[in-house]
Amino acid sequence: MYLGIDAGTSEIKTLVINDRGDVVATAGARLSVQRPHPRWSEQDPAQWWQATLQAIGELRQKVGDSWSQVRAVGLSGQMHGAVLLDRDNRVLRPCILWNDTRSAAECKELTAMAPDLAAIAGNLAMPGFTAPKLLWVARHEPQIFAQTASVLLPKDYLRWKMSGEKISEMSDAAGTLWLDVARRDWSDSLLDACGLTRDHMPRLVEGSQPAGKLKAELARHWGLSEEVIIAGGGGDNAASAVGIGAVEPGDAFISLGTSGVLFAVNDRFRPNPASAVHAFCHAIPDRWHQMSVMLTAASALRWLCDLLGASETTLLSEVATLSLSEQQIAPLFLPYLSGERTPHNDPDATGSFHGLTHSTQRAALAYAVLEGVSFGMADGMKVLIEAGTSLECCSLMGGGARSPWWAQLMADVLDLPIVTHQGGEAGGALGAARLGWLADGGEQSTVCRKPPELKRYLPDAGRQLILRKRLAHFRLLYQQQREARALGF
């Protein structure tokens, strides 16, 4: 059996699969995010480790006697986070997360200092990436920067806790802006632009390769063999791609989690930074991927639920009762609660409802949120197509995949068949377990099969004329917001 651990933003998720690829059991432990100042987003890495221990304890009970048959562990996790360790491997400050936007000024600085950044890293400098975070620390917390001996990504911090080794892999490393993405190696020039060297960086492997073993003491504590290996693993989206079987050129999926991702597999490095399209290494050798990313997706619905004091289940059931005419007059929602990446690269973008009246009901607000996130995905798909990506169908995964109504809306907005899969909500944890299986010698054709299809949602032409009109209005509202900010409002 194979264990997958996914270090998400809101939860540590764990699961075990058997050598037929079936999910045996799952368990998770919730996490909290600290926002001590506007635009900041941080977590204490110690919280990740405690949550991992809690989830593993629960998972072990669920699996029962066969738990000891686990042969390998795969890791997945939120990308771009900066865990800073000193020479004694003490964490120097809370981890600055992917959705932290404080380093906008440092992005401009990095672009000026490294004019070949986009060509090497395949991406524009954005506040979510790791490199600008280190420039921010150097400027605002110089004593912390001076003590920094190692920089680890979130899942790789868990690997260090599990194995004592500092190792990363290509898909996650590509999100730092320090990787030469075409060559799949650290870039000395990009590191130097941030005052760093290879000595600060973990060793690199492919995601499907062995990358350490469990410490003997931890293996005994977990009731596992000391020979259990840890795979390189993958950043959350690349690992999710492995979990959904998106490993061949042309495969694509949408993930609706805290953030929203449209992911397309390529057989070569195909950067298009001008439109804020991400070009990263995949978690398996000889594969890359393009990705559009919106910073707020299913988390926008959770935000609305908290404001209204209603559960997601309740709101989604109310949305499903709205008629087409009620949807047509619903408010429009800009989903930029944490700024935005693709296609705007705008950390200052904000969320808003437009078109509220005395008669607006909460079901219409919930509809507007689902639609606004779907429109954000349409913006991302538009620039992927302009970058040369051709999509014929998309799998849907993440928490948002649990809503058939949202899946149909996504098909209508994108004018694309949307497919949900059995176990699609497992996401990165399933992909992590599969990468563990590959590291243990599994064959890719066997390990990376697409999970069974649950349902296929086809575009409804009857809704598309209305949606296209509302999408044009949605895009106009963002442009108006940007113009107003340029005028100082």
**CB of 5 within 8 A of CB of 17?**
no
Which tokens in the block code for residue 67? 């738990």
CA distance 280 to 171: 6
Residues that are catalytic = 236
Among 275, 276, 334, smallest CA distance to 479 is for 334
Pair type for strands 203-205 and 167-169: parallel
Amino acid (1-letter code) at residue 144: I
The 3 state secondary structure assigned to 295-351 is CCCHHHHHHHHHHHCCCHHHHHHHHCCCCHHHHHCCCEEECCECEECCCCCECCCCC
* Residue 392 DSSP one-character state: S
CA 118 vs. chain centroid, Å, equals 21
CA distance 262 to 418: 12
CA 292 vs. chain centroid, Å, equals 11
Among 341, 302, 292, 261, smallest CA distance to 100 is for 341
In this structure, the chain runs to a length of 489
Pair type for strands 332-334 and 352-354: antiparallel
Give the list of residues 6+ apart from residue 359 with CB closer than 8 angstroms, or none. Answer: none
CA distance 10 to 435: 22
CA 423 vs. chain centroid, Å, equals 18
* 3 state SS of 441: coil
CA 389 vs. chain centroid, Å, equals 20
Helix (H) or strand (E) segment spanning residue 255 = strand 252-256
Among 102, 12, 104, smallest CA distance to 52 is for 12
CA distance 126 to 131: 9
- Where b means 16+ CB within 10 Å and e means fewer, 440-475 reads bebebeebbeebeeeeebebeeebeeebeebbeebe
Among 237, 154, 209, smallest CA distance to 428 is for 237
